[in-house]
Amino acid sequence: MKPTTFFKRALALLAGSVLFGAGPVKLLNVSYDPTRELYQDINAAFAKQWKAKTGVDVEISQSHGGSSKQARSVIDGLQADVVTLGLAYDIDSIAEHAHLLPANWQTRLPNNSTPYTSTIVFLVRHGNPKHIKDWDDLVRPGVSVIAPNPKSSGGARWAYLAAWGYALKKNNGDDKKAQEFVTRLYKNVPVLDSGARGSTTTFAQRGIGDVLLDWENEAFLALDELGKDKVEVVTPSLSILAEPPVSVVDRVAAKHGTTQVAKAYLEFLYTAEGQEIGARHYYRPRSPEVAAKYASRFAKVQLFTIDEVFGGWQKAQKRHFDDGGVFDQIYLR
Amino acid sequence: MSLPFKKPSILPGFWPAFSYTILYLSLIVLIPLSAVFLKSVTSTWSHLWRVVTSPEVVASYRLSFGASLVAGMISVVVGFLVAWVLVRYQFPGKALADALVDLPFALPTAVAGIALTSLYTENGWLGRYLAPLGIKVAFTPLGVVVALTFIGLPFVVRAVQPVLADADAELEEAAASLGANRWQVFRLVIFPIVRPALLTGFALAFARALGEYGSVIFIAGNMPMKTEITPLLIVTKLEQYDYAGATAIAAVMLTASFLLLLAINALERRTRKFMTMG
């Protein structure tokens, strides 16, 4: 065999395997910390549905970490077909810094591209020895609060904004009083971990602090793992509607030829099946039917949105969490 | 004009070895480091200046350099003692103790950090006895020093041990026979022999401590202005998408560390020279 024919044949073989022998379609979902268990179930259910519908196998890999860290990896070249992060600002950053998806990505799927929501609740020690019922109890002297650093953790930013929103409401919109309240709260924080899981470990494994500010789903997960004889979940009277959004990363998906399946994957989250899986993992469903079915899982709590109180993520980020912002001021005084 | 090199030794292969060294240093050290500097100049100077001089960052330099310095000094004292015991005495389990010294090298630093934190928190095994005395270790600068000493110790031990083993016992005997007491023997005979090695060990421990991240973030508590180390701030800046700011802090740290190491090396060379002139 002449070398040229050999190459031609090898090439034909290669092309054939790409066109016909196509192995499973591969998707990479880059997500934030607490969704590990959720997406394991979603992926299995979606793969089954997609196979039944199109006959194609789909293999979904997951990557987890702090929300901003994950966004930065995508900016730096992690090949994510879809991102499912802790807050819209992080996906905005991918659009802004790497132009991998259009700036209006959040309008492409229903409900601000957020198929499920969550909120911020308190995890306290068994029997609630410090009688922590609401946000006011967190600023009492002698109460030690565990929360991650809002500059590096998505969940912590939601927690910070929830406290701020509560104080605003209580003081009839007095911004100064809200700042005072949040400052007092963070003076009660002895350790600032960089992410939600780190704080959960500090609180649960190392036994530090009286109360942990956490994602609702993460708090219930900790409750399941640690047992009801160790910790309790306390839901405050008012909290923030945390919207962890999802999006296809257009340019990466186009390059991989996975745009269609990536879209279907995210749309699956909105179906009854996807919503039920979410609810089982303590994410609040958007669908009213599924929400009604799982109503007993979620405490009734008055929720406000970031748009209502802070005018959206861009504004909130700039004022509170950027360098020299309000959060930095707490520690400079 | 002569070459700026001293006449190479009669050993063959000077040029290949020298070129290889330069190539290797460039690929592994210089190019990545220059990338740090290049990346930071993608922003305006005023932004960079504001970042590297902001109070939070300045407080972190103080902690990082201060704690590393203290930890390096503790490592020198304790490391010398450990090396002394390992070289000069025979005792059961010596081989085991010798191997234990290297453990901090092999242990993932995060594991060390978590272990030290659980030991030293107020309800930890050690922390509970220190708390009534008013000594808090975990989540204070003291905790940072403890973690940095832990990782720095083996550098000093391993630098001093061979030098101490090579030192002739006859010298000490001679000194003693000439009427020197134990303290004089140590001060005038043993210490000058190990001084360059101690300096090397200190430089290594100090440099390692400056760059340490894994173990410290667990025990430090990471409170702004109080217990945030500089490497943590670099990571935080990255997480805020401030690449230029992160690399600017990194550049400041690199420059400062480089100057300090240069000074320590110069000091070490001087002591060596002093010794050979004897």
Give pLDDT tens digits for A255-287. 999 999 999 999 999 999 999 999 999 999 999
pLDDT tens track for A163-183: 999 999 999 999 999 999 999
pLDDT (0 to 100) of residue A317:
94
Overall average pLDDT of the B264-277 stretch: 77
Average pLDDT for residues A210-234, to the nearest whole number? 92
φ and ψ of B154, to 5 deg: -60, -30
Q: Is the pLDDT of residue A14 over 80?
A: no
For tokens 């911004």, what's the residue?
A175
Measure the CA–CA gap between A282 and B30, rounded to whole angstroms.
Answer: 50
Q: What is the pLDDT of residue A4?
A: 54
- Is the model's pLDDT at A8 over the cut of 60? no
For residue B58, is pLDDT > 60? yes
> By C-alpha distance, which of A10, A196, A22 is closest to A118?
A196
Cβ neighbors of B57 (< 8 A, separation 6 or more) are B51, B230, B233, B249
Does B224 contact A331 at a Cβ distance shorter than 8 Å?
Answer: yes
User: B140 at the A interface (CB within 8 A)?
Assistant: no
Q: Is the pLDDT of residue B238 over 90?
A: no
Confidence class for position B278, pLDDT limits 50, 70, 90: very low
Task: Tell me which of A10 and B27 has the higher pLDDT.
Answer: B27
pLDDT of A99 reads 96
Helix then strand then coil, in percent of chain A rounded to 5, is 55, 15, 35
Indicate the residue of B55, B217, B240 with minimum beta-carbon distance to A151: B240
Stretch A210-227: mean pLDDT, rounded?
92
pLDDT at res. B124: 86
Question: Is the dihedral angle over the CA atoms A123, A128, A133, A137 positive or is it negative?
Answer: negative
Please report which helix (H) or strand (E) contains residue A133, including its range. Answer: none
Query: Hey, what are A15's tokens?
Result: 């092309």
Rounded CA gap, A323 and B54, in Å? 9
Question: For residue A79, what is the enclosing H or E element?
Answer: none
Instruction: State yes or no: pLDDT of B96 exceeds 50.
Output: yes
pLDDT score of A29: 97
**What pLDDT score does A276 carry?**
97
Contacts of A152 in chain B (CB under 8 A): 235-236, 239-240
The alpha carbon of residue B225 is apart from the nearest alpha carbon of chain A, in Å, by: 7
Put simply, the answer to whether A149 touches B222 (Cβ < 8 Å) is: yes
Which pLDDT score is estimated for A61?
Answer: 96
Paired tokens of B83: 């090396």
Torsion sign, CA atoms B162, B168, B169, B174 = negative
Q: In Å, what is the CA distance from B145 to each residue of A177, A249, B75, B85?
A: 38, 44, 10, 24
Cα four-point dihedral sign B22, B248, A193, A28: negative
Question: Average of pLDDT values for B156-166?
Answer: 94
What is the distance between the alpha carbons of residues A86 and A53, in angstroms, rounded to a whole number?
A: 30
Q: Is the separation of the CB atoms in A163 and A182 below 8 Å?
A: yes
Task: Give the Cα separation of A3 and A102 in Å (integer).
Answer: 47
Is there a contact between B174 and B97 (Cβ–Cβ < 8 Å)? no
Q: Which of A152, A208, A330 sits opposite B239 (nearest CB)?
A: A152
Closest CA to A145 of A127, A162, A132, A161: A132
How does DSSP assign B10-48, residue by residue?
SSS-HHHHHHHHHHHIIIIIIHHHHHHHHHHTTS-HHHH
Residues of chain A found within 8 Å of residue B121, distances taken between Cβ atoms:
206-208
Classify B44-277 by CATH class: mainly alpha
Q: How confident is the model at residue A17 (pLDDT cuts 50, 70, 90)?
A: very low
- The predicted pLDDT at position A321 comes to 93
CB-count burial class (<10 Å; 0-12, 13-18, 19+) for A226: middle
Is B240 in the A-facing interface, judged by CB distances under 8 Å? yes
Q: Do residue A207 and residue B121 have CB atoms under 8 angstroms apart?
A: yes
**Which residues of chain A have a CB within 8 Å of the CB of B224?**
192, 328, 330-331
Average pLDDT of the residues of chain B: 88
Question: Which tens digit of pLDDT belongs to each residue from A292-323?
Answer: 999 999 999 999 999 999 999 999 999 999 88
The pLDDT, as a whole number, for residue B1 is 47
- Give me A130's structure tokens: 């410090």
pLDDT at B90 exceeding the cut of 50: yes
Tell me the average pLDDT across B129-137: 91
Shortest CB distance from B241 goes to which of A93, A190, A330? A93
Mean pLDDT along residues B103-110 = 88
Question: What confidence tens digit (pLDDT) does each residue in B11-42 have?
Answer: 777 888 888 888 888 888 788 878 877 877 77
pLDDT of res. A1: 46
Higher pLDDT, B10 or B258: B258
H helical segments located in B89-190: 94-101, 103-106, 109-120, 127-130, 141-166, 169-177, 182-185
Share of chain A above pLDDT 70, in %: 93
Question: Which residue intervals of A55-109 are DSSP H helices?
Answer: 67-75, 88-98
Q: Do A331 and B225 touch (CB under 8 A)?
A: yes
